[in-house]
Structure 1
Amino acid sequence: MSWSTIVGQERVKALLKRTLQNGQIAHAYLFFGPEGIGKDALALEFARTLICTGGGIESCGVCPQCRRMDSFQHPNVKLVFALPAGKNETNGDDPINVLTDAQVANVREQLSVKAKDPYHRIEIPKANFIKINSVRDIKREAAMSRSEEGRKIFIIFNADMMSTEAGNSLLKTLEEPLPGTVLLLTTSAKDQLLPTIVSRCQLIQCDLVSEKEIESALISRDHVATALARVISQLANGSYSNARRLSLQNMAEERKEVVEFMRLVLGRRKTALIDAIDELASSSDRPATERWLKLLQSWLRDALLVQHHAPAPLLEDEKQSIENFNKNFPQADLVTAVQSVEKAIAHLDKNVYLHLILTTLAIELRTTITETQPV
């Protein structure tokens, strides 16, 4: 791993490199921002660079410190995350030793995946919160003499999952930091942390990843076809993890639904259009509805590019539909059509009645596309 393996986040990487260059390392950092944008990856690489024997702003990747960090085997770096409660677990118990053999095996497997893929979210059955014993371990291990030279680093993934007791225990550690100890917290829900914890951390706000950065990463790292990567990048909401999940889904059916919706909007089968709107509006899955609207928007954007003879890498299953559309509606105002979908997505975010959003969208699309045609 290195800074270059983190998708996007150039501003944050530059900030962390300046911190390393200045040598003014705070005792606690909180990496926050939406899910799947690389907070854990940033925290891990920051920790790796801090323990690297090179002592620069880039980890060397070859020294014993870096190599042990790569497999999460470095004695000075401890990872804290949600674990299941052990049977008859009491305060002071080792949070791992109280687990069953199967649970321990699962933890090891999750850590192995995380070591290879910093974007992987550690998920263990029945691990609903970060236990107080896990946080107490931080204070105990921080006070112990080091088996290795250098800082002791504790990384708390998804710190918002701390129980109330764990949060209060961590607060005491933050209030009385031990020399040579660095805490790195990550969260997608900063407002769920105790305000006093937030106030005692150096805040690192992480950015959404741009569509271009996501598209490039999908193509080069995940071997996604260029046309599909472009579509997925528009649906990912700035999250590389989201994009990777979408790349594993078969969106062919959703794309067919988009084309069929456009046919109904522009055709004469009003009853069929009403039925389609009713079915779409009945969904309680708002993220899926937003994804569908963004697919529609992407289809219209591609049609706009083709209309203006601009290069557009099209998916095989949409080439024919877009060519037919532009042939039948050569003067369609597709800029306004794209804006209509954008407005519908904005209304969705404001919890406007979904049936009204879709009905209004259908009317606007029909008007925008059909009324601009020559008589």
Structure 2
Amino acid sequence: MSELDSRWTAKKRRMSEKVRNMFYHAYDNYMTYAFLHDELKPLTKTYTDSLVELGNLKLERFPQEYNGSALTLVESLSSLVIMGNNTEFERAVLWLSENLTFDVDARINLFECDIRVLGGLVSANILATDSTNRLVRGNYKNQLLSLADDLGRRFLPAFDTPTGLPYAWINLKYGVMENETTETSTSGCGSLILEMGALSRLTGDPSFESAALRALLKLWSMRSSLNLLGTTLDVETGDWIEYSFGIGAGVDSFYEYLIKAHFLFGRDEFWRMFQPAYFAVQKYFRHGSWYHEADMRTGQATYWQLTSLQAFWPGLQVLVGDITAANSSHSEFFSVWEKFGVLPERYLLDLQMLHPT
């Protein structure tokens, strides 16, 4: 091994150990101070039940009997496997199998619950049943898949709209509530296909994938002649509410899920949507190495800002093989990170300064 290879190997080992320590710092403190609740508040060593608090900051519809869904534990399952901690993974899987329930009077955000809870359960089930026998034989009998199936069925009433586009909010026990808002985001109705598609493949029930795919195809049919979409829309009428569009909040995962669905399910229709959508971003949003927002109808720039949720973009570009563009994008994101020591929520590209809010 050359000296250069030795230094690189040593650096990877140090970085790996640093990541491991960061993970266990977060995980162990959650388990100590916040479990069974959803998330840890690290400064006060208390908790938040964020699954029902998200978008409900005034706690107007907060169920008094809700004590959390161990959300952080669900989200940590695959990381435990990556860390090689099969003992803790097994303990967590068996605890969730015996204690987690979704029969609760809780109004939740469909998108967040899908990507975090349903996704966590589906992926953990796959890991728990793979050929390496990470769980003691006989202890696991697809309980997490049963929970995922139950959760998926509680999602389905949200898709019962004239357009097939799902409501952003649904009550896990009672379905869509009276006078529920009909506004949702592009991400909210266009980023459900991975989890619900995988659930259909694992259970043999096509209803989950069919609902998510119908919503995605409807959303794509609403694109402009420039192959651009808006950010928010009405699920009952199918009308756009916000025409400004970018690659950040409210939109980001739409692109991510299209290309990953193509890889996961091997269906060309996802690529046929992703390719023109990606080219449109490069044509109308890109300014040098930066990406601003634009009006879906005209392609004219609207907001010249970088947002933290755009940070996935270089990774997506690597996935599709656009390495030169990925290097350029990543370099600009990293330059902002170095300037502030962290990637800010919003950074004004034209003024080269933090957004005042």
What's the TM-score, normalizing by structure 1?
A: 0.26
Query: So what's the TM-score if we normalise by structure 2?
Result: 0.26
Greater relative contact order (Cα 8 A, min sep 6): structure 1 or 2? 1
* Structure number, greater radius of gyration: 1
